[in-house]
Structure 1
Amino acid sequence: MRILPSHLAALIAGLIAVAFLQALPDWRLVLALAVGAGTVAMAWPRRRALLIGTAALFIGVAWAGFRAEQRLAERLPAALEGVPVTVEGTVRGFAQPREWGSRLVLDVDESDAPLPQRLMLSDFREQDWPPGSRWRLTARLKVAHGTLNGAGFDAEAWLWSEGLLATGSVAKGRQRLADAGDFLARVDKARDALWQRIRTALGDTPSAALIGALTVGQQQAIAPAQWRQFSATGLTHLVSISGLHITLLAALVGAIAYRLACVCPSPRCTPRIVAAVAGLVAATIYALLAGWSVPTQRSLYMLAVFAAALLARRHVSALSAWLLALAAVLVIDPFSALAPGLWLSFGLVGVLFARGAGRRAPLPRVKGFADAQWAATLASIAPLAIFFGALPWVSPLANALAIPLVSALLTPLALAALALPFGWPLEIAGGLAELFLAGVAQAARLPALSLAATPWPLWGLALAGTLWVLAPRAVPGRLFGLACLAPLLLYRPAPPAEGQFRARLIDVGQGLSLLIETHRHALLYDTGPGDAERGLLPALSGRGVYRLDALVLSHHDADHDGAAATLLARVSADRLYAGQPETLAGLPLPARHCRDGVAWDWDGVRFAFLTQPTAPTAEDNAKSCVLRVSAGPASLLVAGDLPAAGEAALADRYGGALKSTVLIAPHHGSKTSTSATLLDAVAPRWAWISAGYRNRYRHPHPTVLARLAEHGIRVARSDRDGGIEWNSGQPDATVREANRQKHYWRLTREGSADLEKPGPAAEGP
């Protein structure tokens, strides 16, 4: 029976489809269907190809479903979330230093409870975690979870694809045990020794961090500012050891081995066999040196299939080899379908194969390089827009210069320097790295095109247009394929109508950030904690918001204004209001106090501050800005972390005039806020609570939830629902991101499905 490319494509489609399903199918039933289709194919020759393809599709679904069922069985039981658990385990790879401590991956050897095999732990103390070391420690764990806004990095998908099924924090009382002696532990120790050698030769410099990332996978040493420069130039992929570096190193070693084999030929081992084996061995060693991460494993599997196809005695077409390699990677690791790196690397290889298909003779070297660079650049536009929501204008030129420099020169030079017993080769590699980083710093100053979160039909149109443009010359109208990219690049979400506003509670974890849009204006109330580039900026960009007409910082607390500086470094704001303007001297524009009586109209929507005066000695929470936004009968009230005493003063001053359709529960649902007095005055239909999943403050408090239930108020929570959106023109409908992005692997967010639509909007004053 002949296996056609269409059969491989069907198998791949089945493996991929499962990753995006809301619920897992019964893999046993699907497997039975596959057997049935295969049996019918044997008895029906005229439809054999179609039936075998159908069977392959079902086999892909069944296998991916079986593997997913196994992984779900490993997930942390809900009863163990937040419970101290004693664990003995081995540190894998390098711990990642953070501003608050470090983050590490621990392989579980023994535990006093059923746990997943791999954990991602955070240590809030300055503890050293050497690679390969073993520890007995106590950890508080929770199911792997991430913020959910429909744009930006999907941490939950990444954790699932990497097999990190639980995260948590390390408690006091850890005890170091005898170091692990398994193969991977010995490899990790060798990597650490090489990293220390790099640091000795180059010091704790950016060039040393880059050399460490390119040779031993020490990406954790690269500073956040450096990562931002790589992202701004589209060069992040060059710093991660994955398909590109491993493939080019294998090709380089294979080419050298081929030339040597031609000089000293052997009748039993042809130059082609020598080249393939040498390249695969080099790739394997490099993958181990890089830490044997999941992306490097995928790249190695791909190369192994290509090497097997090269050594096969019968001819294997480029398309068949590409499909076979992709199928092999997905069979070994069906969860890689969620990894953008897989599609970027395979897509690039596929485009280059397709570009060379049908040519009678290869292009001259310079012209061939230019053609390949053009194809790779064009092919990367749609994936970069889809996966990362940004397209640096300098990226094509930066990649054209950086790929040969880093992959063909700097990386081989750095690896050779580590293999030699001298220090000066590392210094040469470090000097070259410094030149590269200086160029990146200059290029990062150039602007980038930020893209809104695009509906999936525009993705398909852009990908089809890319294939059309890159098709062989015989295909007519290829340049018209560029027009298919325009909707993806130009798309912007429709703004609210005149006289209406749209509110979006951004999921920033344990913090608050609320975006309010009118027809032509945008206001952001608070920024949440940390670095705006991690979640807030992608969320704003995904909504098509690239500048702010006003930024409100309710009060000086890290979970409310912590990301303000990094936000304003990237997004301009015309006005800045704050509950404590004196704390914001370092920001690039002056802050005005959000005092009671300050009000304005935008596009028929009324904005009014209701902030009550407080004593200078009052706590920070009491100084929170109170903002009411109204459009006709629909309105919204947000009051930062205002405590119960401030709520009482507010209700006493305004009474029924506070009535609003939506209330952003003050202080994340803490028991010190959202009092019955406030609820009686506001009488909301909805209460939105912004809180992190299983946060250490235990927000929202059960008494607050009970109080909201007693008042008949429906609750939406960012820890369960992700981002929450509401339009004043449709006051009975609330959109929750968790309902838009349901997948079997995503954490079940209890209560999301039970939320009902609210009744008629509350009448405003």
Structure 2
Amino acid sequence: MFAFAAGVALLQLLPVLPDIPFGIFLLPALAGLLLLPRLAVPAALVCGLAFAGLSAQDALSRRLPLEASGERGQALVRIVDLPRQAEDGWQFEAEILESADFPRLAGERVKLAWYRTPERLSAGDVWRFELLLRTPNGVRNPGGFDAEMRALQKGWAAQGYVRGQARRIGNDGGIDAVRERLSRRIASAMPGRDARFVRALALGDTRFLTEDDWDVLRRTGITHLIAISGFHVGIVALFAMYGLSGLYRLFPALGLRLPRPMASAMVAIAAAAGYATLAGFAVPTVRTALMIAVFMAHRLLHRSGTVVQAVAMSMAAILLWDPFALLASGFWLSFTGVLALVAFMPRAESGLLGPFLWAQWICTLVLLPLTLAFFGQTSLVSPAVNLLAIPLISLAIVPLALIGCVFAFLPTLAAVFWGLSAWLMALFWQGLLWLQQWPGAAVFLPEGGLVAVLAAMLGAGLCLLPAGVPGRWLGLPLMLPLLWPTMPDIPHQNVRVAMIDVGQGLSVLVRTRNHALLYDTGAGREKGFNRGESTVLPALRALDVGRLDKVVISHGDNDHAGGLSAIRKGIVVRRVDASGDTASPCRAGASWQWDGVRFSYLWPGSDAVGSDNDASCVLRIEAGARTLLLTGDIGEHAEAALVARHGAGLRAELMTVPHHGSATSSTAEFLDAVRPKQALVSSGFQNRFRHPRAEVVGRYRMRGATVWNSAAEGWVELAGDSAGWQLQRREREHGRRYWSRPIPREAHDGH
């Protein structure tokens, strides 16, 4: 069974999916698995590869093709999850019921947004929308979230927006509609924000948890206990089994009708399935329900196999249900934790506290490498917090919330249980707010490679071996490459430049030997989506940038400055220079040096007039013979003034394309003065402005410049040294997987 899982996992590592009929390998491999025991392991491996390959081909074939991406059309859709209302509109998942304009998407799920609408959406609603749909896509950066992988996991064939007319047809009901009504009852039963955790713990409804809430949970290491997790499903199944055992003790005659082991297994499976249903069949809950079903079936059949074999069967069952389940961090954390407990839990421990402490220590150590690999951070207070959080939340707060749901038809009684649950959580929350302020509450580490993660897991296992076992001393050294990774050294008078992929916006990271500068921050809202928080900060942490010596805000447009507040909250920023009337303005003539690298503001001057775009800070960087020009959103008027003032002094081998490649920038005269060899253009995938314009890209290429577009390449990093500007990393190539659609640069030249 582990070999089958290994085959499924191997396919997920492929950068490109082979164009072969995987089905022709599946039948012979199944025959070998069933008929030739000696070949069972390789046959199971091939079965896993072939099954995963077939599933991947099917999933990709159902996606909106790139050539149809960006088209508009009418569709009848049903909302199939709990829609989220943000500051600027709604986000929701929908099933396309029928569409003459998108016939191949009928029956498929899509991820939609509806901005600036007064309408109120509910789960189960049926609407006729005019949609603009795109193939699944997202930004790509070190340490960043892979939106295309997420689309594969969720089965989204497209993503898009509601545009133009919309008409509500009705409501089809369904389990999510029931969950939403129950969530509203919980909210109406208690004042203020007290209901948010009860809704999350009872129903998996996390819509009302703020980003600040999630930050506290991450910093204290208990995100796995909030919302309905697999752990909660297991607790509910365990409660159901204990309840049944009590019933059998009270009425022994029940055993004559139905043996207690069989009844216990049936009740555990039913309880797990029911709770998973209450959670809207969230992947972690279905995964745990399947694990419980396999374990119980194993027990009912009186198999003499080991726990490890039962775990392997559970893993295979989950992957047969959903081969993309192993792309989720929870899959690896769950199974690794279970196997670690089986392998390292002392058999002689008695009582309750001893085994609980041992289990906590084992899971903390073994899961540390995976936690760092998946999230880039860990919490030093997490082990201590979980000692209280696990029993309190699982044995008191969650049961009270669920009892309230059982008595939802009696609002007064339900409100008592929900109120007790919320009161306990509020008390505990005050402690978390205090703990999360500790300096070591959250520790961020730069990204490590697969080899470092595997070595660290081996090291953790060695550390847990009994004293005196040969090789145990190697445990800590094997963990060091992940805990203290070595980052590339930047020599004196050299520079590294990275265009961060922030979609339709701009953010450029410039590093010298001992300093770091961020030019613009991408877009962001105070109470909504923020590129500074979701994209820039994870990239900085992945590269071990723990401090920004200077942030330059080229001008005040949101797509350049919106992420600043989140960045200042998440990392030390020593100084901010900005265009306009600020405490620290960027002014032509100002300059400084870091590590032998010279930074000079060329614009705006005191005589700058025109739009905010034309007042963008223009920064020239000289690292020996290497030169870089950062241009913000300047247009033709500012470009002409720069040429008149500086002439050949504008010359730079590498530059950012002004204003994302708009038709009002990058004039021929300006490019003739700069004479770039390489140009960086930051633009969003199929953006509504059609940036960069084809004629603009053509001007650069006519002059022999290579144009790197973030929409096509993701993060682009270059190193400037005595040999020239060397390309270091293109994230879409560096982290390419078969679910990442190849996007030619020409697709973003305005066509």
Pick the TM interval, shorter chain.
over 0.9
Q: Provide closer, same or farther for how the CA distance between residues 69 and 666 of structure 1 changes in structure 2, counting only shifts above 3 A.
A: same
1:156 aligns with 2:148: yes
Summarize deviations over 1:89-130 as a string: whole Å, max 9, x none: 111121112221110000111112222711110110232111
The 5-angstrom pairing of residues 310-321 of structure 1 reads 310-321=299-310
1:534 aligns with 2:534: yes
Which residue number corresponds to residue 484 of structure 1? Answer: 478
In the aligned structure 2, how far is the partner of 1:377 from the partner of 1:21?
31
- Work out which of the residue numbers 183, 206, 219 in structure 2 matches 1:195: 183
Q: Provide closer, same or farther for how the CA distance between residues 465 and 27 of structure 1 changes in structure 2, counting only shifts above 3 A.
A: farther
Which residue number corresponds to residue 724 of structure 2? Answer: 731
Which residue number corresponds to residue 469 of structure 1? Answer: 463
Q: Which moved more, 1:725-734 or 1:168-177?
A: 725-734
In the aligned structure 2, how far is the partner of 1:164 from the partner of 1:474?
52
In the aligned structure 2, how far is the partner of 1:731 from the partner of 1:754?
27
Report how far residue 732 of structure 1 moved: 4.9
In the aligned structure 2, how far is the partner of 1:36 from the partner of 1:597?
71
The 5-angstrom pairing of residues 586-605 of structure 1 reads 591-605=583-597
Which residue number corresponds to residue 110 of structure 1? Answer: 98
Report how far residue 731 of structure 1 moved: 2.9
Q: Provide closer, same or farther for how the CA distance between residues 722 and 704 of structure 1 changes in structure 2, counting only shifts above 3 A.
A: same
The 5-angstrom pairing of residues 402-551 of structure 1 reads 402-420=389-407, 421=410, 422=413, 423-447=415-439, 448-471=442-465, 475-478=469-472, 480-530=474-524, 531=530, 532-551=532-551
CA contact (8 A) 2:95 2:110 kept: yes
In the aligned structure 1, how far is the partner of 2:26 from the partner of 2:421?
57
Report how far residue 536 of structure 1 moved: 0.9
Report how far residue 379 of structure 1 moved: 1.9
Letter in 1 for 2:567: L
- Work out which of the residue numbers 88, 100, 104 in structure 2 matches 1:100: 88
Report how far residue 612 of structure 1 moved: 3.1
Matched residue SS, 2:545: coil
Summarize deviations over 1:585-633 as a string: whole Å, max 9, x none: xxxxxx4111111111111111111113255763211111101111122
The 5-angstrom pairing of residues 212-251 of structure 1 reads 212-251=199-238
Alignment RMSD: 2.2
Unaligned stretches of 5+ in structure 2? 525-529
Which residue number corresponds to residue 527 of structure 2? Answer: none
In the aligned structure 1, how far is the partner of 2:22 from the partner of 2:330?
32
Which residue number corresponds to residue 760 of structure 1? Answer: none
Q: Provide closer, same or farther for how the CA distance between residues 700 and 480 of structure 1 changes in structure 2, counting only shifts above 3 A.
A: same
CA contact (8 A) 1:15 1:331 kept: no
Which residue number corresponds to residue 64 of structure 1? Answer: 52
- Work out which of the residue numbers 261, 266, 272 in structure 2 matches 1:283: 272
CA contact (8 A) 2:140 2:714 kept: yes
Letter in 2 for 1:246: V
CA contact (8 A) 2:83 2:90 kept: yes
1:85 aligns with 2:77: no
Report how far residue 268 of structure 1 moved: 4.3
Matched residue SS, 2:552: strand
1:16 aligns with 2:5: no
Report how far residue 84 of structure 1 moved: 1.2
In the aligned structure 2, how far is the partner of 1:408 from the partner of 1:209?
19
- Work out which of the residue numbers 232, 242, 252 in structure 2 matches 1:255: 242
Q: Provide closer, same or farther for how the CA distance between residues 639 and 440 of structure 1 changes in structure 2, counting only shifts above 3 A.
A: same
Letter in 1 for 2:9: I
CA contact (8 A) 2:124 2:171 kept: yes
Q: Provide closer, same or farther for how the CA distance between residues 10 and 472 of structure 1 changes in structure 2, counting only shifts above 3 A.
A: farther
Summarize deviations over 1:27-70 as a string: whole Å, max 9, x none: 64674387279659968xxxx53x22111111110000001111
In the aligned structure 2, how far is the partner of 1:27 from the partner of 1:472?
49
Report how far residue 715 of structure 1 moved: 0.9
Letter in 1 for 2:331: L
Matched residue SS, 2:672: helix
Which residue number corresponds to residue 113 of structure 2? Answer: 122
Percent pairwise identity = 35
In the aligned structure 2, how far is the partner of 1:496 from the partner of 1:415?
56
Letter in 1 for 2:437: R
Which residue number corresponds to residue 717 of structure 1? Answer: 709
In the aligned structure 2, how far is the partner of 1:568 from the partner of 1:40?
57
Report how far residue 152 of structure 1 moved: 2.9
Which residue number corresponds to residue 585 of structure 1? Answer: none
CA contact (8 A) 2:685 2:748 kept: no
Letter in 2 for 1:249: V
In the aligned structure 2, how far is the partner of 1:253 from the partner of 1:662?
65
Which residue number corresponds to residue 566 of structure 1? Answer: 566
Letter in 1 for 2:575: R
In the aligned structure 1, how far is the partner of 2:366 from the partner of 2:472?
14
Unaligned stretches of 5+ in structure 1? 1-7, 583-590, 756-765
Which residue number corresponds to residue 555 of structure 2? Answer: 555
In the aligned structure 2, how far is the partner of 1:410 from the partner of 1:27?
52
In the aligned structure 1, how far is the partner of 2:113 from the partner of 2:29?
49
CA contact (8 A) 1:506 1:723 kept: yes
Report how far residue 140 of structure 1 moved: 0.3
- Tell me the TM-score normalized by structure 1: 0.91
Summarize deviations over 1:637-684 as a string: whole Å, max 9, x none: 111101111011111211122221211001111111122122111111
1:747 aligns with 2:741: yes
Q: Provide closer, same or farther for how the CA distance between residues 436 and 681 of structure 1 changes in structure 2, counting only shifts above 3 A.
A: same
Which residue number corresponds to residue 372 of structure 1? Answer: 359
Q: Provide closer, same or farther for how the CA distance between residues 39 and 435 of structure 1 changes in structure 2, counting only shifts above 3 A.
A: closer
1:147 aligns with 2:147: no
Which residue number corresponds to residue 134 of structure 1? Answer: 126
- Tell me the TM-score normalized by structure 2: 0.93
In the aligned structure 1, how far is the partner of 2:33 from the partner of 2:50?
19
Count of residue correspondences: 728
Matched residue SS, 1:178: strand
Report how far residue 26 of structure 1 moved: 5.2
Report how far residue 709 of structure 1 moved: 2.4
Report how far residue 693 of structure 1 moved: 1.1
Q: Which moved more, 1:737-746 or 1:254-263?
A: 254-263
In the aligned structure 1, how far is the partner of 2:557 from the partner of 2:486?
33
Report how far residue 753 of structure 1 moved: 12
In the aligned structure 2, how far is the partner of 1:519 from the partner of 1:77?
44
Report how far residue 474 of structure 1 moved: 7.2
In the aligned structure 2, how far is the partner of 1:280 from the partner of 1:140?
42
Matched residue SS, 2:159: strand
Matched residue SS, 2:331: helix
Matched residue SS, 2:111: strand
CA contact (8 A) 1:504 1:514 kept: yes
Matched residue SS, 2:603: coil
CA contact (8 A) 2:456 2:479 kept: yes
Report how far residue 242 of structure 1 moved: 2.4
The 5-angstrom pairing of residues 2-81 of structure 1 reads 8-25=1-18, 28=21, 31-32=24-25, 35=28, 49=38, 51-81=39-69
The 5-angstrom pairing of residues 335-350 of structure 1 reads 335-350=324-339
Letter in 2 for 1:335: F
- Work out which of the residue numbers 298, 304, 315 in structure 2 matches 1:309: 298
CA contact (8 A) 1:596 1:611 kept: yes
1:186 aligns with 2:177: no
Matched residue SS, 2:207: helix
